[in-house]
Structure 1
Amino acid sequence: MRRLLDRAEIADVQIRYATGTDSRDWALFRTCFTDVVEVDFSAGFGQPAARLQADDWVAMTAPRMESFTATQHQITNQVVTFDGEDRATGVAYVRASHHLPTSTGDSDQTVYGSYTNQFERTADGWRICALKLTPLWMTGNFGIFQAALPGAADVTAP
């Protein structure tokens, strides 16, 4: 019975991750992580994996996501395997849609792929201690990610 409850809690963490991102609720987003988190988006976006304070990860993520008019992260097909009582790996499909009206083409960009996240049981429940995104393919205007960088030139449609 405990494993079923653990699986449900881990699924809830991933739902909070998506909901916090898309609703711009950064306090909710922060509840998904241990105090230190390894973030690896290298497969799709080129930056190397990094071990960060979770507060710094939230501070880096917030301005980028807030630059989009809207985002929608759908996390599905979650499979959780346990490594002892207090560690687990969760693999889940992701479809991450990003919208930013632009005068330079399509206003949307969508990433299809998977998250492979490492979880750790803490005093506050299960939390992500390592986050890895593996894109399988992307569609739409890849330029809107660059345009969403804080300080980027305004490419929004008049």
Structure 2
Amino acid sequence: MFEYQRMGRLGNSMAEAEELRRVTDRLAISDVVVQYATGADRRDWALYRDCFTDTVDIDFSSFSGGEPERLAVDEWVLQVRGLLPGFDVTQHNSSNHVHSIAGDMATCVSYMVAEHIYLDTSAENFVTLGGYYTNSLVRTPRGWRISKCQLDVTWQRGNPELFALAAQRAALILAGQN
């Protein structure tokens, strides 16, 4: 009887440890997804870069057209730096995270609303995108990292011409930093 009870507790301990790891993984994955938004909005490029594996698959085709790309992380960060600093402010909100975890691989689908403000215009000075991200992540020695980022824009409001103005301004900012 004692052996059975002890094995029962061991089974529960193993189940509890498994559940704890699942919850810890979910929190860590959501932290990386939120870090993505925080790094972009703060223009903290080291923080932003740290969200990704060394090579990342990017699919923003629902927003910008084109085809999905596989890029070195530094190339991806440079592309983002070629746009976002041209806005006076951005705010990327991430919510409703749904996780699928299988060992050292995971997917996190999250809603997004991204506000982009450009003050130096006589036209409407904002553009807002809404939709969701599907991020594929892998567990690395440094923790969970995004290996694929897919953006699906399902709605938009405001002035989409601001993206071109912001890209022009960001190019001037980057040129001044070199």
User: What interval of TM-score do these two structures reach, taking the shorter chain for normalisation?
Assistant: over 0.9
* Bigger mean CA deviation after superposition, 114-123 or 103-112: 103-112
Question: What is the aligned counterpart of 1:85 among 83, 96, 103?
Answer: 103
Give the superposed CA RMSD.
Answer: 1.5
Query: How much has 1:75 moved relative to structure 2?
Result: 0.3
Structure 2 length-normalised TM: 0.82
Aligned CA distance change for structure 1 residues 6 and 134 (closer, same or farther; 3 Å): same
Corresponding residue of 2:71: 52
User: How many residues in Structure 1 have an aligned counterpart in Structure 2?
Assistant: 152
Corresponding residue of 1:107: 125
Corresponding residue of 1:22: 41
Question: What is the aligned counterpart of 1:36 among 18, 39, 55?
Answer: 55
> For residues 58-97 of structure 1, what are the structure 2 equivalents within 5 Å?
58-82=77-101, 84-97=102-115
The AA in structure 2 aligned to 1:85 is G
Corresponding residue of 2:32: 13
Corresponding residue of 2:5: none
* Bigger mean CA deviation after superposition, 54-63 or 106-115: 54-63
The AA in structure 2 aligned to 1:90 is C
Separation in structure 2 between the aligned mates of residue 147 and residue 87 of structure 1, nearest angstrom: 38
Separation in structure 2 between the aligned mates of residue 102 and residue 138 of structure 1, nearest angstrom: 21
The AA in structure 2 aligned to 1:149 is A
The AA in structure 1 aligned to 2:164 is Q
Structure 1 length-normalised TM: 0.92
Matched, 1:131 2:131: no
Query: How much has 1:146 moved relative to structure 2?
Result: 1.2
Percent of aligned pairs sharing the same letter: 41
Query: How much has 1:105 moved relative to structure 2?
Result: 1.2
The AA in structure 1 aligned to 2:113 is R
Contact 2:86 2:169 in 1 (8 A): no
- SS of corresponding position for 2:128: strand
Q: Which has the higher helix share?
A: 2
- SS of corresponding position for 1:117: strand
Matched, 1:142 2:160: yes
Q: Which has the higher strand share?
A: 1
Unaligned 5+ residue runs, structure 2? Answer: 1-19, 173-178
Q: Based on CA coordinates, which of the two structures has the bigger radius of gyration?
A: 2
The AA in structure 1 aligned to 2:39 is G
List per-residue Cα deviations over 1:109-148 (Å, max 9, x = no partner).
0000000010000010000000000011000001001111
